[in-house]
Amino acid sequence: MTDGLRWGILATGGIARLFTNDLRLNGFDVRAAGSRSLESAESFASDFDIPTAYGSYDELVADPDVDVVYVATPHPWHAETALLAIEAGKHVLVEKPFTLTQGEARMVADAARERGVLVLEAMWTRYLPHMVRIREIIEAGTLGDVRSLIADHTQKLPDDPAHRLNALELGGGALLDLGIYPVSFAWDLFGDPTSIQSTAVFRSTGADAQVAVQFGYEDGRIASTFSASDVKGPNSATVLGTDARIDIDPVWYSATSFRVVAHDGHVLEEFRSDVDGRGMHFQAAALERLVAEGRLDGGDVLSTEESVGIMGTLDRIRAEIGLRYPGED
């Protein structure tokens, strides 16, 4: 099923567990796990039958039996740890958001290009079967001229000020953790927005709890996104065209179903996903294919340069709502 790359897992938190479980379920070769704590790395490695555990990130990226490193640290350390792996000559899949800022994203992208390795943002949603089919439907012209996107990612998450999602020093907030999904979807459909209008509600910690964004484009298209960490909404999405629309069921950014609906209400197509695990392995397989093909630009689904551009959009939203992280100039 894979092209034979050997994976190393850098950081052993919740998202790393979900990703590694999908790799294991689908036959990928996971060789090592690394954490700042050897005890944590050994526990993680034991849980997933991984042969080698390291008590430092430096040891993990130096392992000659690791070809590609999955970076699962909190946002503020994405750039630092991705650069560590790149310098060691490893390909990198780095959790979304790609980095904390566009400046960091540019450094990571440039370093990968100079070192001759592939670096991808782990926006696994784009590689799921229903998203692949949606792009095919749009390309075929079934929707007519696609004019609008409406998408939310909203969760009722802990109010604890010390929780990672509420701590600015950890890159906490709804936009980068949740809003990245619909923002990336808007980029997937329409590219770089020409105008951005946004508003936000903040927690007592200064982290953003709700962010509503409207993107405008030169051709008159519009995308509306909403992210929140203090309320749970439908987590659905709709793509609107001049001839038909696509209604994506909850949870739209995970393996799910959708319907193509004509303006008279007739269902033109219904799609249902059949996926083992969460489906995060589809992007891992794509990374392996890209490396085998020598496509170190990231390919057509999500290029490295597009991830840099998306970070620029997130920077613009943050500037508009007045959100800054500790240490920013």
Other Cβ atoms within 10 Å of 262 Cβ, number: 13
Of residues 41, 58, 26, 113, the one with CA closest to residue 303: 113
Cα 267 versus chain centre, distance: 30
Of 90, 96, 156, 232, the catalytic one is 96
Q: Indicate left, alpha or beta for 194 from its phi (over 0: left) and psi (-120 to 50: alpha).
A: alpha
- 212-to-182, 215, 285, 318, 323 alpha-carbon distances in Å: 11, 10, 33, 11, 14
Q: Which two tokens stand for residue 288?
A: 């392996």
Q: CA 146 to CA 1: how far, in whole Å?
A: 35
Is residue 96 among the annotated active site residues?
A: yes
What's the token pair of residue 246? Answer: 């696509």
Q: Cα 150 vs. chain centroid, distance in angstroms?
A: 18
Angle, vertex CA 271, rays to CA 265 and CA 273, nearest 5: 150
Active site residues: 96
